[in-house]
């Protein structure tokens, strides 16, 4: 009986993982160019049964925060000393099953490499989720790959290069690929669950 219960727990965990992974705080685009004035969008979901009313984003090293897009009902505070941006609301906040987008412009570093977007999500019950871990952790931070050049670029208001045009397409393709992977994993998980049930039935016989 214990083996049967364990098998069901493992199978249910496999079913749950793809959806859990998709609910992390993300920052797009995932790729941009050196010294570009990029428009970034942070997407913040709520993973608890209480509302999330505050999110603090740590701007990566050698990345300069420029400006933000106002979000109705949310107050934006920029702390230049600690290089953080805080979005906070006195309203309902981000409730379970919802997400909120926050867009801003930042100038990328002058060197190539990955930059990490550490985020701190505050919930109404006083709990804090720190999205600062590695990619394979339970609470990973978002990352953006900074590359040398891009095939499609446009000039921003400062005269610098913006890599937004091609990144929008890339990120859209990436999102579609992620959806396919999620549904494929779900189909495999369901098949595994059915196979496990038949195996248990056959054993009893």
Residue 99 banded pLDDT, cuts 50, 70, 90: very high
pLDDT for 6 beyond 70: no
Q: What domains can be seen in the chain, in order of their start residue? A: 2-204 (2.60.40.2230)
Contact at 8 Å (CB) between 156 and 35?
Answer: no
- Give the separation between CA 54 and CA 77, rounded to whole angstroms: 11
Does the pTM exceed 0.75? no
More confident residue, 201 or 94: 94
Residue by residue, DSSP assigns the chain as -HHHHHHHHHHHHHHHHHHHHTTS-EEE-SEEETT-EEEEEEEEE--SSS-EEEEEEEPPTT-EEEEE---TTEEEEEETTTTEEEEEESSS-B-TT-EEEEEEEEEPPSS-EEEEEEEEEEETTS-EEEE-B-TTSSSBPEEEEEES--SS-EE-TTS-EE-HHHHHHHHHHHHHHHHHHHHHHHHHHHHHHHHHHHHHHHHH-
pLDDT at 14 (0 to 100): 41
- Which pLDDT tens digit goes with each residue over 121-158? 999 999 999 999 999 999 999 999 999 985 544 445 45
Burial per residue of 103-113, b for 16 or more beta-carbon CB atoms within 10 angstroms, e otherwise = ebbbbbbeeee
pLDDT for 11 beyond 90: no
- Give the separation between CA 52 and CA 122, rounded to whole angstroms: 6
- Which pLDDT tens digit goes with each residue over 24-49? 999 999 999 999 999 999 999 998 99
Query: Nearest-CA neighbor of 62 among 132, 114, 3, 138?
Result: 114
Q: List, in sequence order, every residue forming a beta bridge with 129; answer none if it has no partner.
A: 121
Q: Give me the chain's average pLDDT, please.
A: 80
């Amino acid at each position: 009986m214990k083996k049967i219960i364990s098998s069901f727990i493992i199978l249910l965990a496999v079913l749950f993982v793809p959806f859990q992974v998709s609910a992390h705080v993300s920052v797009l685009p995932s790729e941009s160019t050196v010294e570009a004035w990029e428009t970034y969008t942070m997407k913040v979901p709520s993973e608890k049964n209480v509302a999330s009313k505050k999110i603090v984003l740590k701007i990566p090293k050698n990345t300069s925060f420029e400006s933000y897009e106002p979000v109705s009902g949310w107050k934006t505070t920029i702390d230049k000393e600690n290089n953080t941006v805080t979005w906070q609301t006195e309203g309902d906040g981000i409730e379970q099953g919802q997400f909120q987008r926050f867009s801003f412009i930042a100038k990328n570093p002058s060197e190539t490499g990955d930059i990490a977007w550490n985020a701190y999500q505050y919930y109404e019950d006083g709990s804090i989720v720190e999205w600062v871990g590695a990619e394979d952790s339970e609470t990973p931070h978002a990352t953006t790959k900074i590359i040398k050049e891009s095939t499609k670029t446009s000039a921003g208001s400062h005269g610098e290069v913006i890599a937004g045009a091609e990144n929008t397409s890339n990120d859209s393709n990436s999102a579609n690929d992620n959806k396919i992977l999620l549904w494929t994993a779900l189909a495999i998980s369901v098949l595994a669950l059915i196979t496990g049930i038949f195996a248990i039935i056959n054993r009893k016989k």
